[in-house]
Structure 1
Amino acid sequence: MPLAIPQRPPLSLALYATTAGETDRFAKVPGGASKLTFGFFGEVGGLLAALKKVNRDQLLESETDVAGEEIGDALWYLVAMSIAQGVNPQQLGRHCLATLRKRFNECDHDGQGEVSFRQIDGIIAVHNSDVAPRCVELLSELARISGEVVGHGDLNQLSLGHSTKADLFGQLLAILGLVCASFLLKLEDVAQDNLVKIYGRWPGASGTYRGTFDENYPVHERLPRILPMEFIERGVVDNTYVVQRLHGVHIGNRLTDNSNENDDYRFHDVFHLAYAAHLGWSPVIRALLKVKRKSVPAVDENEDGARAIIIEEGIATWIFNHAKRRCFYEDVEQGKLDYGLLKQVHSMVSGYEVDACPLWQWERAILDGFRIFRELRKPCHRGGLVLVNMNDHTLTFQPLSRTAE
């Protein structure tokens, strides 16, 4: 007889709001309430647009997979928006339940205890046969009411009573739950997945680096924990190149931009060093330093082999082209790098060990790499010493003396 798997406790709206609120970057900025309102409307529009693309382009990704993530993002904005307008999670949940009971002609009652997503899913599940065929109708209703909220602007500046605002947000949450059900999803699962997603992107004070991938391998098969790499530019005007030197020994081949446009891609190996510092991963650096994990043939071939190297080089090039149009991320703060870019990078390493690293680690690796890249390419430097500290997850830049070059 199979063992019973205990069901996890229900996720309350209050707990979700508290946990998700730790990643609210709008709470203390001027006009934050309006930004949350626009953000919610944008996520609803994103849901509709994403579903359109799945159908139009006949993508392999299912509507359910797309809908789940988009609804989760809309949920985050809805809860944050309601709190910013003075409606607490318990009131939001109560008005949501009241909306659903009225919709399904159930008797309304106050109930006791905290409102949970499981309660919302439970009411909807009883009437699911009436919900599943009405996906398009429900999406239209969600878009209409979302538009009404945006049309009101800042609800605090209007003469709407507190109960009216709570009822409006409760309606939105109820319809969001119904839309979930129309895609055969549960709002509680979507909320749980959304918490995992936002903490993978914005961990706050809880962000802890995972251990290195080669900790249990022989020392000669580990990436050096302290790595002082010199980038030295040589040659004459219009015929310059970069060489790399570690402890006085030249590493790898001389590098040029390999482009019709001079963009200093010759310094791009600093990005691989940043991946080593912040991700504990870089098949490219492993190959350059000859520290591939040959004691385990499968790891040597798959994790440290040619395909992994090509993927890493592809990621570095793709991000470089993105950054080049954005001043090499000079004004991008931590937590502000394009989420779509990070998500795409994460998908490119799916199935490899580095897939275990959350998006915030990728962001730090990318932004730190470009911070050092901008130093290397400055006219007053044109190279430098990059000190990698894998233990502290840091990159440090020092200019080179002319005699050292």
Structure 2
Amino acid sequence: MFPRPQVARSNRLKPIFLQFLLNIHYNNAVVALFAGGRLNYDIVVIGASSAGLFAAEMLAKNGKRVAVLERSDAMESEERTYIVTPGLYRVMQDFPSGIIHQEIDTFRIQSGQNQADIQLSSPDLVIERAELISTLLSRAAAAGVALVSNCEFLGFEIHQGKTRIKVRVDNSLQLVSADYLIGADGVHSAVRKSVGIDPVPSVPLLQAVVDLPAGWDSRMTKVWFEVEDTPYFYWLIPRNRNQAVVGLISEQGDNTQALLDRFLAQKNFKPISFQSGQAALHNRDFPTDFLVGDLPVMLVGDAAGQVKVTTVGGTVTGFLGAKDAAGMIWGDNQLPARLKVTRELDLHQLIRRLLDQMTPEDYTDLIEMLNPSVTNFLSQHDRDNMRSHFWKLAVLQPRFIPLGLKLLFRSVFIQ
């Protein structure tokens, strides 16, 4: 098990200072790297997402010349609180403790009047996306990555068998040469669109910042299953000792704001502010690695749909996808290693197919099935490391087998 850093209060001035230094880095990068009109890199990363920046840092530390090209004017992210598993330490052992706002020891799940607690042997981590991106930007810059903002990816140009990357930077068209391209430009990936791959499936996410209820354990997260509202769930995640985020994942076309407003009123939560976004979904039918002419292209993170569709969590799996892509480029990994992430996500896709068939009564029964052996198993194996162990649940609780068969029958024959 990797050592867990102590939780420390974030320094709110740090991201501002880092942004000042990074702005200097961006401006110098634009002048130095785009002055010639035609550029050459070992790897170009499209999109300053967490997965893209992590891949860029690893490749630069391995001696590669790397550029991250970001469409927006500033390489920064909107604030969003989310929870990640301790699997983060497996992929990034030096993850900075300063951006961990809270550790979560207990998961409480509820359906109707039934609820169950799962005590986590290794706590989940509550982080802020904006601080994570700022930290990854500073690490990438320190590793020598060229960070270029206001740089829009336009597509590819193939001439005499050579593929170049077309971009617009500061209203000037440029052609960039690279040995590899990594597409890390999120749910609405321009890289995917440029080669005719369908957009990654996604669902809306909305959460409200609220005051933590009096007496609430700030190290406990709660999940409510309300299938009349959403096939996913509502949640409360403490972001510190005083505040939490309460939110839901819904389906496209639902009035997500109205659903959340009603839930907040029912639970007597008063929203302070809202955070929203589109969460990517894994779909194994879409390619993530392909050639454009002679240029190998790899998609990572949300652009690749490297997100668990059970919980719609993708930070750890996005990092794993980025790490595997980087390993393939420098030769440490072969394609089977790249497929490990896909196979883990395939399992979650199968589980989601079954969960979509659940009724309120099924969730009530499921919670009743969580005997001590099952909860102990779930406490030991986090959500990012289930593929090798998931089958053991049927041994620990045989009643899962008829429930699973019933849900599978519904998914195949009753739509």
What TM-score, normalized to structure 2?
0.20
Tell me which structure has the larger Cα radius of gyration: 1
Which of the pair has the greater relative contact order for Cα pairs under 8 Å at 6+ separation? 2
Larger % of helix: which? 1
